[in-house]
Structure 1
Amino acid sequence: MLGGLLKKEDILELIKNDDTSVIFVKPTTASLTVWKKFSHIYVDNKKQNFVSCDTCKDILHHKSIDGTSSMMKRLRSCESNSKNNNNKSLSINEYFSCRETKSIPPRFKNKVLNTTGELVAMNNRAFELIAGDGFINFTQTIFDAGQLLNSQNIDVSDLLPHPTTVSVSFCGISLHFLNEKLQLYVFILGCYPYDRENQNANQIRQFVDAKLLEYDLILDNNKFVVTDNENKMKSCFKESCTRIGCSIHYMNKQLEHCFTSDTLEKIPVNCDLVQEMFDYIRKIVSHMRRTHKQSKLPRKLQSYSDTRFNGAFRTMNVFLTVFDDLACVLDRTFLDDYTLIEKDLLEYVCSFLAPFEEAIEELSCDKRPTIYKVLPLRQYLINQCKIHADDHDGIRQIKNFISTRFQDVWVLQDIHYITTLLHPSFKNFDVNPNLQDKVINLVKNEIIKRQPSTSVLSKCFDLPKNDLKLSLNPYQELDEYMNLNVQINEVDDILLFWLTQKSKFPTLFSIVRDYDAVPASNTTVERLFSSSKYTVSDKLLLKTFDKKSVIEATATDTKRKITDPDKKSTDMSLQNQKQFRTSTTAKKLKKDEEDDIVIWDDDVQDKENDEF
């Protein structure tokens, strides 16, 4: 007896062995015509998440929430194949598969052995490659295809996909939560391969909802979702949640356009001077890396990647470090490009972009709240774009573009305004005094939402037995907080401040607990992709890869223990909170510090240079 839901491979194996526990059942209540060609699969009377095509006998993954789009595609494909093959006579081997296992002749084994040696030698791969499950599955697929196409003259290169078309999309999901003691918990739920037919908004939302449901989690209007700012993500999370745009993506996209785009929304970018300089730098960097001349430089050059946050700054900053050394290394072909690069302009650009890099680091932290930093940092960066009389023409172009784009594109939401006011060092809005009245009104509206009901029935309820006394004047808390003369610096923990003020400002405390758990960016899941790249990189193939140890290490990093909620002492809670913030394993901390935020082919190689 087989209990529970099975994988596709297990079901195929049972069908191949004619196992009697597998049965195919036609749906009795289905109204769509597509179900006439498909059947549900049951194993030991347990319905599986797969259906079988009656035409081609293949099985497809299917749940009730998936719809029938994939089944319709398979049905059209089967009908097309049937039309193409209706005049072709089939051999008896295509009707009945041979169950007899035959021995492989030695000459074929020797031929495969010699070809394997050529494979690992010509492609510089380890011999362990052929023992991997992925390679075995790949060769079996090629072998099966060859058996079906044995009567046709087909070149294997026509069967293999182009390297640039082999891609797998992943979805990373993390959970951020503040408990009653304002301890911040960050749980990595997983980095899942996306297995839907397409990437439209409905399919993505169904995929995410299904993964959350595995943990009994459901999105609603009281939940916040932080994503990047693509249109499909905006459409995906426009209902049953509050979507917050990733602040780092807002920032990085405009920096990318500044150095790489000629026009944006049919409007000229007008950053010609810095774009021309950046093009020369990219050519030289590409040449130096391709010709392996970097050993002659004190530091390895950094390739540009539009998927790396503030990638232009990293490329130019390293280039500036070795600028004087390049003159002795470059040949005549690239010396002309080198002489056209104005070093003063390069220094100005790197100096201007340095605060953006620091802002990205601030907003990437996942150990403390970051949402309250968005408004002050955004306003600071806009103020940095103020043009001065002695500015270089290239710097003027950058400042004009970024200042305009930040104000037009980088959207602030109510949560950004409210959390900024609820930080004692930002509540006076010195960065932009014109916003203070607007923010105070937003906080007042939020306070009203959290006031007890005034209905007749609610007045008959028992009084709550807690030590948090709500004021008769709902705005009294806000007035007292605004008059509070307290300043905390950047190294102090805002959550510790509010924990000590819990009894004095209970309503504001509840707002902080709900809002400060929301991160300013989604870099927590971005690091998952970078860590995966670091783990399975082809540069690590020669090292022993212990899958079990990696799984155990990941479990240690991501499953954090929650402290006993029955402890009442405030001092103990503060101590527990401090211990929690340093409880991540050393390996995790090292990974966070060393890994780039996004995936790029040169990341692992460049990591060596970043530590130089």
Structure 2
Amino acid sequence: MKKHTIGCKSHSAVPSSTKPISTFFTVNVHNKSRTTRLAKHKLKKAIAECCILDSHPFALADGLGFQKVIHEAMSIGRSLGKSIPIETIIPNRPTVSREIDTMYTLRKNQFTKIIKSINRYSITVDFWTESHTGVSFGGVSLHCYFKTHGLKSMVLACREYDLPNSKSPNIRTFIEGILSDFDLTINENVYIVTDNEPKMKAAFREGVKRIGCSAHYVNKVIEHSLTNCNIGCDLIQQTFNQVKTIVSHIRQTHIQARLSLSINLFSKTRWNSAFQMIQDFLDMYSEINELLTSSDQKLRLISMDLDLLKEFTKYFVLFGNICPQLKDEFYNVLRDEIDGRQSLESKTHKPSAKLTTSSVTPKRKRTNLLSDCFDPDPSVEDIDDILDFWDKQQHIYPVLSSIAFDILVIPATNTSVERLFSTSAASITNKRTRLNAAKIDKSMFLKSNLTFLTTFHHVNTTDKSSTEKLVNKELYEIVDDSSSDAEDNETASSKNNNEDDIF
């Protein structure tokens, strides 16, 4: 067969007179659409049964992971058919757990190679303590720009904080340890976004450019006024807690499904959530009064001072109005700064008096550098992405574009890490009591970066054949590892496997 293949490649292709098989039959469009409808009906029934039997939410089919499973199942079904029972190829819990470790190692190595080519990036740092177990986690995210993918926010770690105390030197050591795992270092050219707690300020005071989270102070002011005692706000705090209790009851008893609008719940990490919750509550007050059936909640609603609550919302309006004002002030400062530099440039580059007007090459008049950069130009196409714009203007404004890249990759807040903690909290449930902190760290890294790493791999790979060979090599190495099957069977039969115990 090998000699035959070599012989075929050595001869040029000759047009064949043999008719293809497609000429002897026609595709019945009606039968094809009927087959598709039948397959959709079977899959719909199977997903509904899955949600019922395994207590999954109805949005199970919306997840990318579930769609990936269906795609792989269809591919396996085409190759195997019904010859092999499905029970023989479905992995058990320990096998899936070990596969996450393998995926984390491969994707982490790929991630480390990718970020070596990055010149400008910023880092976001924050800490969180799980309420039930008391385990503290440190979250770190990386923000950078790719020409093919744009601005990206990627999770580096959601790691258990295992140092003796939370003093600033230990915090600095902990963060540097995470960055060193990805061959990253902290230096004076790196911006780190943290909250404005004293220990965070002290940890990143030297050798790095620390930027405080813009929403942290606002969060603290609102949290202080709503939760702290002995500050003279007892009546307002009592009213706010009543609203929060009623809204929590509405969400837990599924009354919200019968409301014309959904009501948001207060969150300490979102400064505008308190205002949004109270505003939604006032808008839905008449509907809530009709739908509430609990006598306790009904009494709490009736005894509430609505006039005080309406006056209380005026307090939050001030915080909502300050954001556009700060935005306008920022652009005004930026415009004044560039105008000042432009005027300085015009003073330092005046033409010599000895030169006549005829000997000077006529130049386009530059009235304002800011307008020169951003005003519409017929020769430049409209670009919505500001980073993409500066990437295409590097040859015209090399210094200014470099400054733009340094600044624009810095996030205004540390919400990327806050979202990471929210996702981690959703993973630590009462049904996952054997999930340890190391597995959470690996799962959060993969959840945040897996789609990007897969896309980056396909977009930036030019030699498709070599890529397929590498993937097949890794696949066959895993399949040929016969020792893992015996280990899986042995582990599955054991009822006291505690490799993941922590919670």
Q: What interval of TM-score do these two structures reach, taking the shorter chain for normalisation?
A: 0.3 to 0.5
More helix per residue:
2
Higher RCO (CA < 8 A, seq sep 6+)? 2
TM score, norm. by length of structure 1? 0.40
